[in-house]
């Protein structure tokens, strides 16, 4: 019923590379602080240096694993085909799937992340949420996911929750709307046959 092959959304290689390099730079700064006799004479500087090395060192490991998985091996963040939807977005959450007949509602939600100091405008996290017809099939990926679903009512009946910010170097609402348009254009027949509500507006989480 689909128009063309399966629809797959991949992480931006440049975005992941920038995250990896940024973490590596902070690790290098921490090492330089420890090697500098003047700076390392101050216990506060030593503490800050080790904190940077440990925190951003973990970031290097995590982003490297994600880069290899998503860029080198080209694993999509989200895959949609005639059978349904599949996502495995993080290292610690198991694969989530949703068959077309189990889906009730699809929408994108945004969550305030921070205030950009450069562009002086708010930046948001965007989540694609696939709501289920049967609440008993709600995703239970991890304890963290369960707590998040309890905190945000919009996620309580979600079959899957897909973070979308890694799709682009700079994420905007217009780009998120284009993601919705691509899904709707490709799978309009499946959406109508299964009476799935497909929301083309971005909602606050």
Whether 86 and 51 map to the same domain: the answer is no
Whether 51 and 124 map to the same domain: the answer is no
**155 falls within a domain:** yes
When divided into structural domains, the chain yields a total of 2
Whether 89 and 168 map to the same domain: the answer is yes
Whether 163 and 183 map to the same domain: the answer is yes
Whether 185 and 105 map to the same domain: the answer is yes
Structure tokens at 114: 């921070």
Whether 145 and 197 map to the same domain: the answer is yes
Identify the band that residue 140 occupies on the pLDDT scale cut at 50, 70 and 90. low
Q: What is the pLDDT of residues 54-66, one digit of tens each?
A: 999 999 999 999 8
pLDDT at 115: 62
Whether 141 and 164 map to the same domain: the answer is yes
Identify the band that residue 203 occupies on the pLDDT scale cut at 50, 70 and 90. confident
Whether 52 and 94 map to the same domain: the answer is no
**7 falls within a domain:** no
Q: What is the pLDDT of residues 35-78, one digit of tens each?
A: 888 887 888 888 999 999 999 999 999 999 989 988 898 889 99
Please tell me the distance from the alpha carbon of residue 127 to that of residue 135, in angstroms, as a whole number: 19
* H-assigned helices in 68-170: 143-151
Residues contacting 130, CB < 8 A, separation 6+: 85, 98, 103, 105, 106, 158, 159, 160, 161, 162
pLDDT at 143: 55
- pLDDT of residue 2 exceeding 80, the answer is no
Please tell me the distance from the alpha carbon of residue 175 to that of residue 43, in angstroms, as a whole number: 46
**5 falls within a domain:** no
**3 falls within a domain:** no
**163 falls within a domain:** yes
pTM here is 0.78
pLDDT at 145: 56
Please tell me the distance from the alpha carbon of residue 123 to that of residue 110, in angstroms, as a whole number: 10
Domain range for residue 21?
Answer: 13-72
Whether 97 and 110 map to the same domain: the answer is yes
């Amino acid at each position: 019923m689909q128009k063309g092959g399966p629809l797959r959304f991949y992480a931006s290689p440049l975005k992941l590379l920038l995250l990896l390099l940024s973490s590596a730079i902070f690790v290098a700064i921490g090492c330089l602080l420890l090697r500098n006799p003047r700076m390392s004479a101050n216990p506060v500087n030593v503490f800050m240096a080790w904190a940077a090395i440990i925190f951003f060192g973990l970031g290097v490991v995590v982003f490297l694993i994600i880069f290899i998985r998503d860029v080198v091996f080209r694993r999509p963040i989200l895959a949609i085909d005639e059978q349904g939807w599949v996502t495995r977005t993080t290292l610690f959450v198991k694969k989530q799937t949703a068959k077309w007949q189990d889906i009730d509602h699809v929408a994108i939600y945004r969550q305030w992340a921070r205030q950009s100091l450069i562009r002086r405008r708010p930046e948001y996290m965007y989540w694609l949420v696939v709501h289920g017809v049967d609440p008993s099939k709600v995703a239970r990926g991890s304890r963290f996911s369960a707590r998040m679903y309890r905190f945000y009512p919009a996620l309580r009946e979600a079959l899957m929750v897909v973070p979308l910010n890694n799709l682009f170097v700079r994420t905007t609402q217009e780009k998120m709307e284009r993601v919705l348009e691509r899904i709707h254009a490709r799978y309009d027949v499946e959406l109508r046959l299964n009476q799935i509500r497909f929301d083309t507006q971005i909602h606050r989480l």
